[in-house]
Structure 1
């Protein structure tokens, strides 16, 4: 991160020669799998008289600087134990996090070689992605310190997260919460004002109520005087859970906060951990705009549950933290939390829930083989233990993956079963999601009447339960349906509705936001609204790269190609080469198609 350099024992040493050595090293270190020499030569040395010869010379320079760490064809990079790169700090949770505070600048800053447009596209995507990894790691450290009662130490990490992404309200909220817990209320109020001004000026939106509330409430604090004793704490915990399930969110949160406070008073760490896990889960799933508080509460739950030997609660809290990160588009961090949850899990019920979220994470990233493996096992385990809600949830995510691959019969089968289970369980708060997906499948199959009925029902129910994610999906479906009918005026209105709903809350599901943008760009291009398409395509490209949504990164490049960038299609094919999606392959062969 920043201008690349080599140090040995703290002193700078001569870097490898050649204007493309750093580019080559970065590409090899960041590649998903070892690339062939031919591919690397085409990517970096296409302007040389002898591309393979230029590659051999550059590899020799890297070996001179670092030893024999790169070899073979494909090129395999093996750094020895005493060689460290900045990237290690983002993937090794045992690395000293203080080094993150020294990062200053972007990937390969000042070392951009004159190279192929494909490499330039790759570097742009990686810069967004790696910057988001740094941001996610800073947040993770800050939340961990805050949960451990070390708010003062968390402030520099929360501050750096804001500096990396000042347009993300959640980063400001984390800093406000950290400053508040550390006792610096004046600084917390100043940060609120800074965030409000930035959001108004840059995005034209108002901050959510959660930002100001972060300066007044300590995580887990009760909203009213609690009852007394361990039995009272247990009863408040039970009452809170029941209220949340019944949809009485405010009352449920109040009960759960009381349970946390009374369990702490009784010095019952195991009960306090369970209450914190329940509170954290409720903040994440039931309360809108509360994910930031929920992450702190869940990390507190992990600390207490681990100390008390409460494995089941630790599993739940790890899984919930993974779910938060998936929704936020921090997919690498999500996988780390979910891997820890899976390592602790023992029962089919626990594993079904974890694998469902892991499948969702893999699907968002465009890793379909991993998604199908996790989701099918999740469905199997949920079926075996009789967890109908988890089965319905995982089936819906499985159906979405089939839909994205244009496997409509498989998507229909999964959605039919999911919808049956949802209705049997009377799970009305979840119904709009599989219903909107089924409406999209109907649209793709040409069943306009069936699609309209399902999407309108999904929209009405989503608005009734006040879920912006479900609202966005239903509105997107109605927009696509009307665009297909040739009613571009109505389609544009629905796309505006979908975009607004998908960004309404600071803890939005980023994949849905990107999915809405992708469809809106396609419709704008088909209708000749190039200026609007260009603005949306820039937003999609940045969002998809930051969130490592590889398939949507590729689709953003296809949109750029349709907008007149003749080099974008080659870059799209490079970036999409490892994505196993027949529909995407067809799109890359025929960019004018919609899938």
Structure 2
């Protein structure tokens, strides 16, 4: 079997033995590009991208394609115009083996190095920009799969096996506190608390040295495993477990998070003690949902509870609980920008969904994820369907939520009238539901519309209210959004110093908990770079554009990848405009097109 290895230093092997490697310094660049773009590429595009400096670009391309065919021993591959890879089962690519949803997880433990390591092209800025984005994207996908495998093993009681995968996630992204927390939890669950404490110290050092941050309390709590374990003397009887489940749900709804979590953990433990798998599954879903939505920084713990619940629902046939668990896991991955694992869970949720309420919640999430990656046609389709189904089943909170995401998509496309109409409905429903925990989100979006319309007083009032309420709620997403808006407001008022303070506050609030919504982080960084450029603060813009580009590539937020390239062009990188055009192909956004003009 022929194997093409693109991770680390690239190599072609036949039956695990390296064969003669292709000649030509651009051969690996060409092969990697064709394999990873996933679609045929025209010869003219390939010649411009990789061989523009040659005397005969198309001739250089023909020679390199022929050399690749000789090396692979596949005369029918890499032919035509556009060039088709056409491996047709004759060869396997290591990237596919590692990242495919149904792939064996064990190769993840050997996935070392960056994509196409040591491959670089002098003067090949277009290819280099593509390769940098692709390296981040692929590394993020491997990290996400390692996390998912580790969480699944933890939920199955195989903490010792989970350690290796959690460690790989840390190695891929050591600046992500959530990866360290997952490793600490795996070590503690396996019985090695000393190693868990050492990992806490490692995380402390990394976050302090690299980011100037202290870890959250969740990291320290992970050294003592609590999920599903009673925190008070055990109750007796199935009725007691059911009552604890009801009490926990009520406490969470009332905002008494700690008391609610305690009740839900008791419910899980009591159901397990009496062998009531149905009750145990429902309690685990309630516990996981509370950890994901009501508590801060506890997505990993909540995901473990959801994995445990899924295993039980497969035994009991509780379709509704399974659909909810899949959807909640999808929500965690969407917020974290782990697109492939998010799509995997949301596909499972869609297969299990039956009711309008379930589809409304599911399509709302799909619309949110599609909007995050810049796929607006898909986003509008999902979100309009979500709003319609939520209205049909009178789920007014879901309706308000989906309308706000719909408004955000229109706002990003500078369709201000449509954004305003969706926001009016969202704000009205939020007010009628007295949903104060959600209010800062549509308020900040409305304030941004006011800023565009130069209604500065209205924007200021809304942003100040949203900031104060977000701080009372302790919600880092809403804090970051309102701080971002206050930064733009002060920039509009020509108070650049105050604008910088608020924009720095926004980026800080984005990262103060590990389970942040990465899109908001990128949105805040993009606004800060834009403001710095408008005020000719080159040093600040340069300092912020690389973190924006890295985050956008890592989380597959294509529109922010393009915007980062446009910022670099404004900072003097003459090649960045062409890179932005190539990277932005297929993004249907009139506002982005206007930036190019």
The answer to whether TM tops 0.5 is yes
Q: Distance in 2 between matches of 1:350 and 1:521?
A: 39
Question: 1:516 and 2:524 equivalent?
Answer: yes
Q: Distance in 2 between matches of 1:159 and 1:321?
A: 21
Aligned to 1:128: 136
Distance apart, 1:553 and its partner CA: 0.8
Q: Deviation string for 1:233-261 (max 9, x for gaps)? A: 11111111111111111111111101110
Distance 1:82 1:223, change over 3 A: farther
Aligned to 1:310: 318
SS class of match (1:79): coil
Write out aligned runs for 1:396-545 (5 A).
Answer: 396-545=404-553
SS class of match (1:70): coil
Residue of 218, 225, 232 corresponding to 2:226: 218
Write out aligned runs for 1:107-256 (5 A).
Answer: 107-256=115-264
Q: Distance in 2 between matches of 1:543 and 1:573?
A: 19
Question: 1:44 and 2:50 equivalent?
Answer: yes
Contact 1:230-1:263 at 8 Å conserved across structures: yes
Distance 1:232 1:572, change over 3 A: same
Deviates more, 1:97-106 or 1:108-117: 108-117
Q: Distance in 2 between matches of 1:30 and 1:479?
A: 39
Distance apart, 1:115 and its partner CA: 4.9
Residue of 90, 113, 131 corresponding to 1:105: 113
SS class of match (1:84): strand
Residue of 377, 380, 390 corresponding to 2:398: 390
Q: Distance in 1 between matches of 2:80 and 2:323?
A: 42
Structure 2: any 5+ residue segments left out of the alignment? Answer: 1-6
Q: Deviation string for 1:344-386 (max 9, x for gaps)? A: 1111111111111111111111111111111111111111111
Aligned to 2:4: none
Q: Distance in 1 between matches of 2:90 and 2:261?
A: 49
Q: Distance in 2 between matches of 1:234 and 1:59?
A: 66
Deviates more, 1:41-50 or 1:430-439: 41-50
Residue of 86, 91, 94 corresponding to 1:83: 91
SS class of match (2:268): helix
Q: Distance in 2 between matches of 1:69 and 1:344?
A: 40
What's the TM-score, normalizing by structure 1? 0.97
Q: Distance in 1 between matches of 2:240 and 2:79?
A: 65
Aligned to 1:585: 593
Distance apart, 1:475 and its partner CA: 1.0
Contact 1:89-1:97 at 8 Å conserved across structures: no
Q: Deviation string for 1:193-212 (max 9, x for gaps)? A: 11111111111111100001
Contact 2:464-2:482 at 8 Å conserved across structures: yes
Q: Deviation string for 1:156-198 (max 9, x for gaps)? A: 1111111111111111100010011111111111111111111
Q: Distance in 2 between matches of 1:406 and 1:90?
A: 39
Deviates more, 1:560-569 or 1:8-17: 8-17
RMSD after superposition: 1.4
Distance apart, 1:21 and its partner CA: 2.0
Residue of 371, 376, 387 corresponding to 1:368: 376
Contact 1:223-1:257 at 8 Å conserved across structures: yes
Residue of 37, 55, 58 corresponding to 1:31: 37
Q: Which runs of 4+ in 1 moved over 6 A?
A: none
Q: Distance in 2 between matches of 1:98 and 1:113?
A: 33
Contact 2:334-2:342 at 8 Å conserved across structures: yes
Contact 1:495-1:516 at 8 Å conserved across structures: yes
Q: Deviation string for 1:246-300 (max 9, x for gaps)? A: 1111111111101110111111122111111111111010001111111111111
Contact 2:238-2:270 at 8 Å conserved across structures: yes
Distance apart, 1:47 and its partner CA: 1.2
Contact 1:90-1:133 at 8 Å conserved across structures: no
Q: Distance in 2 between matches of 1:482 and 1:134?
A: 41
Q: Distance in 1 between matches of 2:344 and 2:338?
A: 10
What's the TM-score, normalizing by structure 2? 0.96
Q: Distance in 1 between matches of 2:255 and 2:296?
A: 13
Distance apart, 1:66 and its partner CA: 5.5
Contact 2:99-2:142 at 8 Å conserved across structures: no
Aligned to 1:573: 581
Distance 1:32 1:482, change over 3 A: farther
Distance apart, 1:7 and its partner CA: 1.5
Q: Distance in 2 between matches of 1:77 and 1:226?
A: 62
Q: Distance in 2 between matches of 1:420 and 1:86?
A: 51
Deviates more, 1:524-533 or 1:182-191: 524-533
Deviates more, 1:50-59 or 1:453-462: 50-59
Q: Distance in 1 between matches of 2:476 and 2:40?
A: 41
Distance apart, 1:424 and its partner CA: 0.9
Distance 1:115 1:32, change over 3 A: farther
Q: Deviation string for 1:285-323 (max 9, x for gaps)? A: 000111111111111111111122111111111111111
Distance apart, 1:567 and its partner CA: 1.2
Distance 1:150 1:418, change over 3 A: same
